[in-house]
Structure 1
Amino acid sequence: MNINMLMQQAQRMQKNMEANTKKAKEELAKTEVQAEAGGGLVKVTMTGRFVVKRIEISPDLLQDEPDMIEDLIAAAVNDAVRQAEAVAEEKMKGANAGMGLPPGLSGLF
């Protein structure tokens, strides 16, 4: 094979990967996950790019101790982060599929 052909193929692959990654990131920004804590007393909505869009606190909870409210908010946010990470990992894996990257390497892009 000609080295120029290999270079051109590598450049095409890089452009495809960049386009796929950009598209996946745009989709992640639109994707929302919802998590809750305390049996639904606190709900957090977050995008796949880890932007908190909304926090809902049940009026029933507002009469409790501030420490409990803070703990439930933290738990809901942490759960939303875990969900968003899972969604992001899946989207990025799909964006880099077919690129011929070794296992584990596709998550770097």
Structure 2
Amino acid sequence: MGLNGSKKEEANESKGRAAEVPLRKGRIARRTFSANFVGAQRFLPDYFFVTETNSSLFVDEDGDTANEFYRESFEKHKRLTKLVRQVDNLMPKGRVKYPIPRLHPDVPLVLWEVHQER
């Protein structure tokens, strides 16, 4: 942001893995683990993964989606407006698929992250 161009991308002259991921000033190159995870061979059985969940979103009659809907109610004598929660004519959105499968909370495994020193 600003006039000094601190957010502009720099040309990366190095070869290899770091050259594939565009870098910005002061950023460290990361591997795209999620992309490799979806296409890789599974190391856990499928019943350890959750692929969809119940959505907490509702859809109103206009097709708008939100967690809660409010409408304004006017009081003529006091010249006040109140927000009243709308609960009529709302339908739950239903089941939503995750873009990347997630671990079930009851998986009997211990997970840890290992960092390699450079």
Class of the TM-score when normalised by the shorter of the 2 chains = under 0.3
Structure number with higher relative contact order (C-alpha < 8 Å, ≥ 6 residues apart): 1
Larger Rg: 2
Q: Which has the higher helix share?
A: 1
Give the TM-score taking structure 2 as reference length: 0.21
